[in-house]
Structure 1
Amino acid sequence: MGRPAKYPAEFRREAVALVKSSGRPVAEVARSLEIAEGTLWNWMKADREADERAKDPNALSESERDELRRLRRKTAQQEIDLEILRKAAAYFARETMR
């Protein structure tokens, strides 16, 4: 179980809305709210991803895209390995028939 959120959800939403509506840089808004700049960036990123999911509920998140790329690379490597094993099995089957 994770630790409880340090900032309430309402505060997070208001901070993100302030960045969007004010046109001020994230760093400046973060300083004025006395929170870490990286924290506000994370909230902005989460808000952007939520907006993207709302537009297309079937869209993949960044972590899902990363996992998909990793799994595709792994599958490609396994297909190469399987082809090598098939060729080796065919070779040894021919050798034992002689």
Structure 2
Amino acid sequence: MGRRSSYPMEFRNDAVALYRAAAGRRTYAAVAADAGVTGETLRSWVRQADEQAGRTGGHGGAMVESRDEELARLRAELGRLGKAEKEWELEREILRRAAQYFAKEMRA
């Protein structure tokens, strides 16, 4: 068994999340340098997190599911906003025509 880490679990989880957010755009070493640890340390933390997720049934699956639900909710909201925008355009057009009509009436 290895020695106990001097880094708090929250810090390690944040470093792993930072690496995963980079999603192949940055290397272990680059992300590790930002976090102030070595590349190999970060690599072992990512490996441990992957093993733990596999052992506990994979919290990653729950994250993907909640992300998919959020995406569906946002798409539905976008659809509603698109319909509302069309209604607002129609209202603006009606008001523009009414303003033109009354402007002609005032001139005459």
Query: TM (normalized to structure 2)?
Result: 0.46
Query: TM (normalized to structure 1)?
Result: 0.50
State which structure, 1 or 2, has the greater radius of gyration over its C-alpha atoms. 2
